[in-house]
Amino acid sequence: MVTAAAPRRRVLTVMARREEVEFFLFIAPWLIGFFAFVFGPFLASLYLGFTNYDGFHTPVWTGLKNYFKLTGDPLFWTSLRVTATYAMVSVPLHIIFGLSIAVILNQKVKGLAVWRTIYFLPSVVSGVAVAMLWLWILNPEFGLLNMGLRAVGIVGPKWVHSTTWALPALIMMSLWGVGSTMVVYLAGLQGIPTEFYEAASIDGANAARRFISITLPLLSPVIFFMLVMGIIGSFQVFTQAYIMTSGGPGNATLFYVLNLYRKGFLEYSMGYASALAWILFLIIMGLTLLVFRSSRFWVYYESELTSAE
The secondary structure of the chain, three-state, reads: CCCCHHHHHHHHHHHHHHHHHHHHHHHHHHHHHHHHHHHHHHHHHHHHCCEECCCCCCCEECCCHHHHHHHCCHHHHHHHHHHHHHHHHHHHHHHHHHHHHHHHHCCCCCCHHHHHHHHHHHHHCCHHHHHHHHHHHCCCCCCHHHHHHHHCCCCCCCHHHCCCCHHHHHHHHHHHHHHHHHHHHHHHHHCCCHHHHHHHHHCCCCHHHHHHHHHHHHHHHHHHHHHHHHHHHHCCCCHHHHHHCCCCCCCCCCCHHHHHHHHHHHCCCHHHHHHHHHHHHHHHHHHHHHHHHHHHHHCCCHHHHHHHC
Determine the angle formed by the axes of helices 74-105 and 112-120, rounding to 10 degrees: 170
> What's the pLDDT at 1?
47
Whole-angstrom distance, CA of residue 80 vs CA of residue 283: 10
75-100: burial string, b at 16+ Cβ within 10 Å, e else: ebebbbebbeebbebbbebbbeebbe
**pLDDT value for 13:** 79
Residue 32 lies in a domain: yes
Q: Indicate if 188 and 91 belong to the same structural domain.
A: yes
pLDDT at 8 over 80: no
Residues 16 and 103 in one domain: no
- Give the rounded distance of the alpha carbon of 2 from its chain centre: 61
Q: 156 and 283 share a domain?
A: yes
Residues 19 and 93 in one domain: no
Same structural domain, 35 and 79: no
Please say if the pLDDT value at position 103 is more than 50. Answer: yes
Q: What is the average pLDDT across 295-305?
A: 79
Asked whether residue 300 is assigned to any structural domain, the reply reads yes
As a whole number, the mean pLDDT across the chain is: 90
The region, left, alpha or beta by phi > 0 then psi within -120 to 50, assigned to residue 17 is: alpha
**pLDDT, tens digit (0-9, with 9 covering 90-100), for 178-229:** 988 999 999 999 888 888 888 998 888 898 999 999 999 999 999 999 999 9
Same domain? For 36 and 86 the reply is no
62 found inside a domain:
no
Whether 46 contacts 277, CB under 8 Å: no
Shared-domain flag, residues 92 and 236? yes
pLDDT band at 110 (very low <50, low <70, confident <90, very high): confident
Please, are residues 269 and 263 in contact by the beta-carbon 8 Å criterion? yes
If asked whether residues 96 and 236 sit together in one domain, one would say: yes
Report the 10 Å Cβ neighbour count for 130: 20
- Is the domain of 11 the same as that of 96? no
The mean pLDDT value for 156-170 works out to: 95
Reference 56, options 309, 270, 287; nearest CA is 270
% of the chain with per-residue pLDDT over 70: 94
Task: Tell me which residue of 266, 268, 265 sits closest to 53, measured CA to CA.
Answer: 268
Residues 231-285 pLDDT 10s: 999 999 999 999 999 999 999 999 999 999 999 999 999 999 999 999 999 999 9
In-domain check, residue 304: yes
Evaluate if residue 117 carries a pLDDT over 80: yes
**pLDDT above 90: residue 148:** yes
Least confident of 81-85, 108-112, 121-125, 246-250: 108-112
Same domain, 114 and 221: yes
Instruction: Tell me: do 256 and 158 sit in the same domain.
Output: yes
- Domain membership flag for residue 84: yes
Asked if pLDDT for residue 12 goes beyond 90, the answer is no
| Measured distance CA(192)–CA(215) in Å, rounded | 8
> Is residue 53 in a domain?
no
pLDDT of 303 reads: 62
Q: Which residue has the higher pLDDT, 116 or 12?
A: 116
- Reported confidence tier of residue 111, pLDDT bands at 50, 70, 90: confident
Is residue 42 one of the residues assigned to a domain? yes
Q: Is residue 103 part of a domain?
A: yes
Q: Which residues lie closer than 8 Å to 258 by C-beta, 6 or more apart?
A: 79, 237, 238, 241, 242, 246, 247
Residue 3 confidence (pLDDT)? 56
Asked if pLDDT for residue 44 goes beyond 90, the answer is: yes
**Which domain covers residue 138, as residue numbers?**
75-308
- In sequence order, the 6+-apart residues with CB closer than 8 A to the CB of 18 are none
Overall domain count for the chain: 2
Looking at the structure, tell me whether residues 44 and 84 fall in a common domain: no
Distance from first CA to last CA of the chain, Å, rounded? 58
How many C-beta atoms surround the C-beta of residue 143 within 10 A? 18
The domain that holds 210 is classified in CATH as: 1.10.3720.10
Q: How far apart are CA 238 and CA 256, in angstroms?
A: 8
